[in-house]
């Protein structure tokens, strides 16, 4: 059976970009090639988290298969993608 592809959107709005989103955009440098082959990754404009006062939505945000995740580091992105691929 063909493996489903995971849609990944890295927020590159200003708040996210300056708080770590820029590092996440270098995903080809730190993600496992196997993961890269299973994910469609792109930058996207503001996902809205920075427009709220809720500290839960700390930048940078990433949307994975339609679900928003805050405060994503390079390591966290790798973990989240592994979980999404294995789900």
70 interacts with ligand FES by CB under 6 A: no
Q: How many CA atoms lie within 13 A of 12 on its CB side?
A: 12
**Residue in 24, 35, 39, 50 binding ligand FES, rule: CB under 6 A:** 50
20 interacts with ligand FES by CB under 6 A: no
47 interacts with ligand FES by CB under 6 A: yes
Instruction: Tell me how far CA of residue 29 lies from CA of 5, 24, 33, 78, in angstroms.
Output: 20, 9, 9, 11
| Contact positions vs ligand FES (CB under 6 A) | 11, 13-16, 46-50, 59, 61
């Amino acid at each position: 059976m063909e493996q489903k592809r995971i849609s990944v959107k890295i927020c590159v709005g200003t708040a996210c970009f300056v708080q770590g989103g820029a590092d996440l955009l270098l995903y080809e440098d730190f993600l496992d090639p196997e993961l890269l082959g299973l994910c469609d990754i792109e930058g996207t404009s503001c996902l809205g988290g920075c427009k709220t006062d809720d500290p839960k939505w700390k930048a940078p945000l990433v949307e994975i298969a339609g679900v928003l995740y805050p405060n994503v580091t390079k390591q966290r992105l790798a973990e989240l993608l592994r979980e999404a691929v294995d789900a």
